[in-house]
Structures are given as structure tokens and as C-alpha cells.
Structure 1
């Protein structure tokens, strides 16, 4: 009988896979010895595998280069990293090794850009695409960046007042973009995105505020939909509407030469994940070219803003199963030594599923379980995997510790979880390590942050002195 956990995996998926394999009966991730990490650093543990950031940037650049060559597309491609996915310096340092550009979302983002620029990681030629609703400090910081020589900083206009606000603080001429307020999927709670300016209003807005304004030059149209880039009727329909706006604007605005198609590439969330990135990129380039040829306008330069795709697949979390609770005749709860709400908040907030695999005991028999976190909150649980409405793991045995890995968790989880701050039920943030490779290709590990201590939390709460 095939009753071992490894039999279950082999029956369900093609295994091993590019990033996952077994070595000495233990799981490896990109050839990283995960049990070795557990033995050296303990659990709970978070890690960032930095080389994967460069790998994914290279993959996307390759797909666009191939499509541009196939279609003899005359525009250029620019890869931007969406910093809100992970603002950490080690992430930006790795990403910026790859000749990329930056997309910002708020005032403090500009401070990060200036810090990186002072270190030589960013130059005046780097594009800084400034998205988001711009409050006073964000406007001031953008103006400071442009006035300081960052002429490739392009504020993306989100509402009708922003041009006047920016013009009051920016010296001389500057470039802008306009964000399209795309229509949401029919199942959404609202019809149109709150971000940007509606399709029908963009050309009148250009004629009213930009056309005769000698201080600003429209360079970019920005298009992004909440569901991201997908091969479905909704995406292609919204892209078509965007291209109608672009070609209409281009016919009356010679300076417009760039189309930003945003981000939203999915990342691998299951061993059964199958997404044809190359086809989708090729078809996007094809559609843009066909539309522009049909309307008799030059094709635009293409910008993307990949955030989760850039950094998501570099991250992971490892927990230990502390105890099993049999709550009724059907449900067994494996309790982990941390909290899903605090360490993987998207599992709680938007029911997101990551790749979840045991690190050890693959040759043991398996059982169906639920996973519970340590907080006193009924929502602190994980109950299914992306491909099925269940979780199967090696059977609990208090004499044989079981370690679980959650993978591709590198985007948003630290910032949404409030890195370094208070955690629900005062469950401490886990230890975090950085994994890299040296010049000889050997793995190196570095402790980025220790697990939170009681005094860290008490200080935040005001219990330690004035």
C-alpha cells in the first residue's frame, strides 16, 4: 500500500520540481538544506533567499525581450520593482543589481530612493514611477527628488488637483503620467477603481489641464487592474479599452510615448501551479502592436511594475508542530509554534494559500489535519491547500518532531504583519535570516533580526520608562 506522505505527493504532483526535492529524506528548497537551518537557528523561522529575486527579474526580462524580437516591436521595455511588496534594504539591493527601475507609493518611499541614490544603487537615469494618492509630504518629497536632478521621476497623476500641487513645488518642467481608473470585475463590490481617472475623462482632462501647460509634459499612461495580468476575457477587454485611450491621446499628444501595464503576475502557490507567462507576454506585445498599427500611431515603450513576482518566491517560513488536539471524531488540530495571523497575515485577511510542505518525515504515514496558530483567535488557522480543500501531513508523533515549511511568502507579509511592532496576543515575531550565495556558489546565511523579546514589546506598550 502507498501510505507514506511521499507516496501522496508523487500520486498528486510531478515531483521533484525545479525548486523542491528530497535529500537524505529531508526537503530542500533551491538546494537549501532546510533541516540544517532548523538545527542552526531553531523555529519559528523566516528566511529570504536573495538570489531568487534576480532569477525572477531575469525571467521576466527574457520573456519581454523574446516577444519584442518576435514581433519586431519598436518600443523598449523597462522593468520596475514595486517597493510596497517589500521595502527591506536587502531586497532592494538585490533587485537593483539587475538594471531595473523603481515604483513608489508614498512619501517615505522617496526617502528610501534618496538613500539608495546616495549609495550609488540608483542614478539620475533610473526611472522612479510615483503612484498613489499624493498628500502634501509625498508631493514635497517628489518635488525634492526632481529638483535634485531625478528627471526620470514621473509622478502618475491620480486626481485633478495633483498637477497644480506638484507645479507649486517643482522648479522648471517635469514629466507626468496619468493613471486610468479601470473598471473592476463584475463580482467586485464597486464598479470602478478609486485610483486614477476614468476612461472617458482622460482626454478632456488632458485638453483642460495639460495640453497648454508649458510646465508639464505627458509621457506615460498607466494601466493596472486589481486581479493582475491573467489570460481571461476581463483582462483583454480592459487592455483593449486602455489602448483606445492611449491611441486617442497619442494622436493629440506627441510627447506621450510610454504605456505602463502595471504588475500582477501570479506567483507559484501550489505544486500544481501552471501559468504560461511567456505566452501571455507575447500576446500583450502582439495586442499593443496590432492596436497601434490599426490606429496609425507609434507603439509605446512598455513599463511593468512587478512586486509580488519580484520578491514573493524568495521568502519562506518554518514552524514546528507543538501538539495535536483531537477536538471531535473528525478534526485533528496540529498546533504550530507561532501564529498565522501575525506571520502570514494574508492567510487570514484574504484567505491566501501558499505552498505548504513538511520539512521532514516524508517516509511516514499521513493524516488529514487542520493547522492552528497560538493566538486566542478563532481565525488563526490554516485549513486547506490551493489544489484541495484539505491538508495532509505526516502523522503526529510527540516523539518525532514535525517541521512545516510555507514557501513563496516573500511579498507583503512583513509589512502587513507589522514587522518589529506589536503582534496579536503578543506572539513574538520570529527570527529572520537572509540566504545568499558567495562567489563560489556556496550558500551563506546571515541573521537579519532576532525573535522579538518581551522587553521589545513592553517598550512599545509604554511599560519601560519614559
Structure 2
């Protein structure tokens, strides 16, 4: 008996979900008729569904609000968007509709802040947390904004020289934060993060350089670990070490009133994704509250810097299977009409997986396949968790085109892959569209950028 692809999904995955459903044998994403989108715009195609950005921001705010109420937490919560996850103007403009702050990581981010201000997207009260190692250019741009009246700009000190440079160029009182150099997981190649100042050095540094500073006021302690917010002994241990520094600081520096726990909320990479956001938020708030009560200090305002969580689940990539190659008795290669190295670089760079589903032919039989890109590189392929799990898709047919989609791809892929630039084997950047809703709830499609043309690439190369 031949089993349909839809039956395979029903037997092995949680489906349908809040994002996905099938109507008339075709996949829908947030009710977007994806095959109709392909008929209008073709493939390969990148899209961003803008309402999902606001939805995730409001979800996080609701989780923290509930946790604050449960734990009788007296201070405030502030959601920051981590701009490096996706610098696109449409992402920032959508996110800013939700009363948030911004987090920057380079001098070029400050140019984005200026541009958004000039477009009237916010006024000089906008709150910006400035992270990262700061070049002289970055420091100069931060100082310039503060001197022009942007008093909610908070540079987070990554090293000792940054305060000296800021002191030279800012002519008024300004706020600062300190980033803690957290210890990495044991499996890392190095022991301590290259970012920030060591746990043991923060109190002496405050006493010697900040306590009597004429203009700088320490307002924030910043904590972040690369592995994200997870219910692991490692995460809680690092959080407690951060809280110990906060409590010691608070006792000698009453002006310190905020704790930035960074980003790290995961996004869905599988239909069987299981992560209890509300539990983690409540546990974090509870532990901070309990620790501060035991230390006899006032609990801090809590800041987060969610990047991938904000924008990741808004993005998707759509492809057509243009051919199938059979290399031996067991391996069938379905070739997409693009390149993974160009459009989804994390799939080969860090073996990242995304949700992948066919867009049509759900009632057809299925087969096990590998997915290959069009470059000549052996790494230009996708195999869910490379070398581990299989991919199953409706059986290839020369007469019945098959389309597939990768979802929740909205963070980092364009900046890592080089948006609009030169790519491996000169694979073109695909057409990029934005999907929004009008006041009546109808989908609105806008072409953000057309597919890259050969002349565009040759010009970049000097031809």
C-alpha cells in the first residue's frame, strides 16, 4: 500500500499548527496561499510576513507582564530589538510600532538610528542600547547623538578605553552600562567571552573610574550568553553570578537600576518544537526577585534584546524542484532552482535546520531525498540536521512540478549571505517580497527587491 505524504505528516509530526495548514492539497503559512504567491511572483522567492514581527513582540511582553504580576515584581520590563538579526528598514519600522527600544552593535547601526529619526519613526527620547566592541567611529557617533539631545542612548562598556573616549567627546551627563564577560560552555574553544569585562574586575573598575566620574552614571549591568535562554544548569549558574555582581554594585552604586539579560529566545525549527516560554520567563523573574530580596537590594528593571525571536519567524524561502539526480541505488538528489549557500547560509555554515515542507502535492506518495543547490560546491545541500535525519517529499515527477518552502528564516541569513552582493558561483539573489495585511484583513504583497540580474553582478566585479 502506498502512503500519501499527508498521511506521513499526520503520523510523525504535530500538524496542523498555528502557522501551518493545508487547504485543497496546498500548504498555507499564516493562511497565506503560498502557491498563489508563487503563481504571481515565481521562484526562487524570499518573503517576510510583517505581522508576525509585532505578534512575537507582544507575546514576549505578555509573558513578562504575567510573570511580574505573579511574582509581585515592582520594576519595569523593556523589550529591545537586536538590529543585527535583520537590519532591513521594514523590520525596524514594524518592530517600532510596538513601543520598544533598540540595541546596536556597530557604527553603521547608529546611521540607521539617524535615518529612522529623520523619517519621523521616533523622536529624541528613543532608547538605544549600544553594544559591541566600539571603534573610534562608533564612539564618535554615539557621542554625537548624546550631544544632540538623545539622552536615552546608553553605551554598554565592552572594555576600559571606551569610557575614556566617551568622556573626551560628550559634554553633558550621560548613562553607561557594563557588559559582563560571561564564561562560555565547557565545549567552547575558549573559556571566557571576548565581549565585556570580567566578573571580578567590575567592582574595582566602578570604584576607581566611575563612582566619582563628573558626567558618567552607571545605570545598567548587561549579561548575555551565546547559547541563549535555556533551562540548563549552565544558564542558571551564569545568571546567579551576574546577580551577585548586580547586588554588590547596587550596594555601592544606588544609581544602578537595570539588568539586561540579553537575547536568546529560540524560534521554531521543527514542527515538533517544544519550549515553554512562559515558564522560563516566570522562572527568570522569580529568581531575580528572590535573589534581590535575600541580598536586601531593590530588584532591577529587566531588559531583553531579542533578535531572532523578533524577526526569525516572519521569513521564508520558496523554491521549485527543477530536476532529480539518482547517484546510486539509495540516494536521490532533488535540485532546487537556487543555492542554499546563497539564500540560507546557516544550513551549511553551522548545520542549522529550518522547517521545510512541500507547498503542493500533499496527496501524492512520498520518497526519501536529499536537497541540492545549484553551485558546484559539495556543501551546497540540505539534509535536515546534516548527516542525521532524512527528508521526505512527494515523489518527483517530470510532469507535476513540486515546490518546497523553508520557514522561519528571517534572521541573519541575508547579512551572512551578502544581500545583493556577489555570491558563490554567481548565484543571483532571489526576488524578495513583503507580505502585510490591510485594514480588512486582506493580504497585501509588495516587491521589496527584484531578482538580481547578471549585469548587477558583473558591475560589482568590474566588468
Compute the TM-score of the two structures, normalised by the length of structure 1: 0.98
Q: Secondary structure at the match of 2:201?
A: helix
Alpha-carbon shift at residue 339 of structure 1 (Å): 0.3
Q: Secondary structure at the match of 2:447?
A: strand
Measured in 2, the distance between the counterparts of 1:386 and 1:327 equals 18
Q: Secondary structure at the match of 2:274?
A: coil
Structure 2 segments unaligned to the other structure (5+ residues): none
Partner of 2:314: 314
Partner of 1:359: 359
Partner of 1:240: 240
Partner of 2:10: 10
Partner of 1:188: 188
Partner of 1:286: 286
Measured in 1, the distance between the counterparts of 2:167 and 2:346 equals 39
- Change in Cα spacing, 1:331 to 1:387, as seen in structure 2 (3 Å) is closer
- Change in Cα spacing, 1:385 to 1:366, as seen in structure 2 (3 Å) is farther
1:157-306 pair list within 5 angstroms: 157-306=157-306
Alpha-carbon shift at residue 243 of structure 1 (Å): 0.3
Alpha-carbon shift at residue 386 of structure 1 (Å): 9.2
Measured in 1, the distance between the counterparts of 2:385 and 2:4 equals 19
Contact kept? 1:385, 1:391, Cα under 8 Å: no
Measured in 1, the distance between the counterparts of 2:123 and 2:219 equals 20
Q: Secondary structure at the match of 1:94?
A: helix
1:409 matched to 2:392 = no
Measured in 1, the distance between the counterparts of 2:386 and 2:155 equals 38
Measured in 1, the distance between the counterparts of 2:332 and 2:63 equals 45
Alpha-carbon shift at residue 84 of structure 1 (Å): 0.4
Alpha-carbon shift at residue 148 of structure 1 (Å): 1.1
Partner of 1:326: 326
Contact kept? 1:228, 1:264, Cα under 8 Å: yes
Q: Secondary structure at the match of 1:361?
A: coil
Partner of 2:79: 79
Q: Secondary structure at the match of 2:180?
A: strand
Alpha-carbon shift at residue 388 of structure 1 (Å): 6.3
1:359-378 pair list within 5 angstroms: 359-378=359-378
Map Cα deviations across residues 244-299 of structure 1 (whole Å, 9 max, x no partner): 00001111101100000000100000000010000000000000000000000000
Q: Secondary structure at the match of 2:117?
A: helix
Measured in 1, the distance between the counterparts of 2:152 and 2:2 equals 60
1:439-458 pair list within 5 angstroms: 439-458=439-458
Contact kept? 1:2, 1:8, Cα under 8 Å: no
Alpha-carbon shift at residue 129 of structure 1 (Å): 0.1
Q: Secondary structure at the match of 1:197?
A: coil
Partner of 2:33: 33
Contact kept? 2:351, 2:386, Cα under 8 Å: no
Alpha-carbon shift at residue 385 of structure 1 (Å): 5.2
Measured in 2, the distance between the counterparts of 1:331 and 1:168 equals 64
CA RMSD of aligned residues (A): 1.1
Q: Secondary structure at the match of 2:109?
A: helix
Alpha-carbon shift at residue 123 of structure 1 (Å): 2.3
Map Cα deviations across residues 178-197 of structure 1 (whole Å, 9 max, x no partner): 00000000111110000001
Measured in 2, the distance between the counterparts of 1:393 and 1:171 equals 63
Measured in 2, the distance between the counterparts of 1:112 and 1:39 equals 35
Map Cα deviations across residues 199-219 of structure 1 (whole Å, 9 max, x no partner): 111111111211111210000
Q: Which runs of 4+ in 1 moved over 6 A?
A: none
Equivalent residue pairs, number: 463
Measured in 2, the distance between the counterparts of 1:430 and 1:208 equals 54
Contact kept? 1:270, 1:386, Cα under 8 Å: no
Q: Secondary structure at the match of 1:156?
A: strand
Partner of 1:107: 107
Contact kept? 1:354, 1:385, Cα under 8 Å: no
Alpha-carbon shift at residue 115 of structure 1 (Å): 1.1
Q: Secondary structure at the match of 1:406?
A: strand
Partner of 2:384: 384
Measured in 2, the distance between the counterparts of 1:414 and 1:220 equals 31
Measured in 1, the distance between the counterparts of 2:278 and 2:2 equals 37
Measured in 2, the distance between the counterparts of 1:120 and 1:100 equals 15
Contact kept? 2:27, 2:34, Cα under 8 Å: yes
Map Cα deviations across residues 214-248 of structure 1 (whole Å, 9 max, x no partner): 21000000000000101111101100100000001
Compute the TM-score of the two structures, normalised by the length of structure 2: 0.99
Structure 1 segments unaligned to the other structure (5+ residues): none
